Structure 1
Amino acid sequence: MSYNLFTRLRGMLFHFARNKFFKNVAIVGGGIAVGQSISLAFTPFLTRLYGPQSFGVAAAFAAVVNIIIPIATLGYANAIVLPDEEEGAAAVARLSIFSGIIVAPLALVMVHLGKPWLADWVGLSHASWVLYFVPVAILVQAFLSVANIAAIRQELYVAKAEAYVGSTLLTNLGKLTGGLLAPSSLLLIIITLAGAVANVIIQLFRVRRRGALMVQNWFGLRGITMAARSYKDFCIYKMPQGVLRASILGLPTILLSVLFGSAAAGQYSLAITILGAPVGLIGQAVGDVFLPTITRAINRGSRDAHILLMRATLGMAIASLPFCVLIFWGDLILPLVFGTEWALAGDYIQWLTVWLSCTLISYPAISAFPALRLQSFQLKIEVLYIGLSFAAMYIGFSWYGSDIAAIALFSLVGSLTNMALICMAHKAVYANVRKLSSSSNNHA
Structure 2
Amino acid sequence: MKPIIGILLRKSFVRNVVLMITGTASAQLVSLVLTPVISRIYGPEAYGLMGVFISIIGILSPIASLTYPIAIVLPKTDNDAIGLIRLSLLISTSIATFVVIQLTLFNQQIAEIFHIEDLASFLYLIPLVIFFAGLYQVVEQWLIRTKQFKVTAKVTFLQSLIVQGSKVGIGFMYPFPSILIVLTAFSQALRAVLMIIFSDKKNLNNHLSNQSSIKDLAKKYKDFPIYRGPQSFLNSVSENIPILMLTSFFGPASVGFYTICRTVLAIPTQLIGKSLGDVFYPRISEAANNGEDLGNLNKKATNILISIGVVPFGLVILFGPGLFEFVFGEEWLIAGKYARWIALWSFSTFILQPSIRALPVLNAQALHLKYTGFSLLIRSCALAFGYYAFSSDLIAIALFGVLSGILNIVLIIVTFRISKKRSDVLVSTKS
TM-score, with structure 1 as normaliser:
0.81
Cα distance in 2 between the residues matched to 1:112 and 1:13: 58
Q: Which moved more, 1:305-314 or 1:232-241?
A: 305-314
Whether 1:110 and 2:110 are equivalent positions in the alignment is no
- Which residue does the alignment assign to 1:172? 164
Amino acid in the other structure paired with 1:157: F
- SS of corresponding position for 1:327: helix
Cα distance in 2 between the residues matched to 1:166 and 1:264: 31
8 Å Cα contact 2:64-2:91 kept in structure 1 = yes
Cα distance in 1 between the residues matched to 2:44 and 2:264: 15
* Post-superposition offset of 1:294: 13
Q: Which moved more, 1:250-259 or 1:314-323?
A: 314-323
* Post-superposition offset of 1:293: 8.1
Alignment CA distance shift 1:119-1:396 (3 Å) = farther
Q: 2:227 aligns with which of 218, 237, 247?
A: 237
Q: Which moved more, 1:205-214 or 1:72-81?
A: 205-214
Cα distance in 2 between the residues matched to 1:29 and 1:17: 13
- Which residue does the alignment assign to 1:4? none
Whether 1:67 and 2:59 are equivalent positions in the alignment is yes
* Post-superposition offset of 1:247: 2.0
Alignment CA distance shift 1:356-1:167 (3 Å) = closer
- Over the residues paired in the alignment, what is the CA RMSD in angstroms? 3.9
- Which residue does the alignment assign to 2:239? 249
Amino acid in the other structure paired with 2:233: V
CA deviation digits over 1:372-416, x for unaligned, max 9? 776544432321110011111111122222211210111121123
Whether 1:393 and 2:383 are equivalent positions in the alignment is yes
Identity %: 28
CA deviation digits over 1:257-293, x for unaligned, max 9? 2222222111101001111211453434565677868
Alignment CA distance shift 1:231-1:312 (3 Å) = closer
Amino acid in the other structure paired with 1:195: S
Alignment CA distance shift 1:211-1:239 (3 Å) = farther
* Post-superposition offset of 1:212: 4.5
Q: 1:149 aligns with which of 141, 146, 149?
A: 141
- Which residue does the alignment assign to 1:5? none
- Which residue does the alignment assign to 1:42? 34
Alignment CA distance shift 1:433-1:73 (3 Å) = closer
Cα distance in 2 between the residues matched to 1:85 and 1:306: 27
* Post-superposition offset of 1:162: 1.3
* Post-superposition offset of 1:18: 2.3
TM-score, with structure 2 as normaliser:
0.84
Q: Which moved more, 1:282-291 or 1:257-266?
A: 282-291
Across the two proteins, how many residue pairs are aligned to each other? 427
- Which residue does the alignment assign to 2:323? 333
Cα distance in 1 between the residues matched to 2:292 and 2:92: 44
Cα distance in 2 between the residues matched to 1:71 and 1:317: 33
Flag the structure with larger Rg. Answer: 1
- Which residue does the alignment assign to 2:399? 409
Q: Which moved more, 1:44-53 or 1:102-111?
A: 102-111
- Which residue does the alignment assign to 2:6? 14
* Post-superposition offset of 1:355: 2.6
- Which residue does the alignment assign to 1:188? 180
Query: What residue ranges of structure 2 are gaps of 5+ in the alignment?
Result: none
CA deviation digits over 1:111-137, x for unaligned, max 9? 344434533554423322222211111
8 Å Cα contact 2:13-2:279 kept in structure 1 = no
* Post-superposition offset of 1:345: 0.8
Q: Which moved more, 1:97-106 or 1:316-325?
A: 316-325
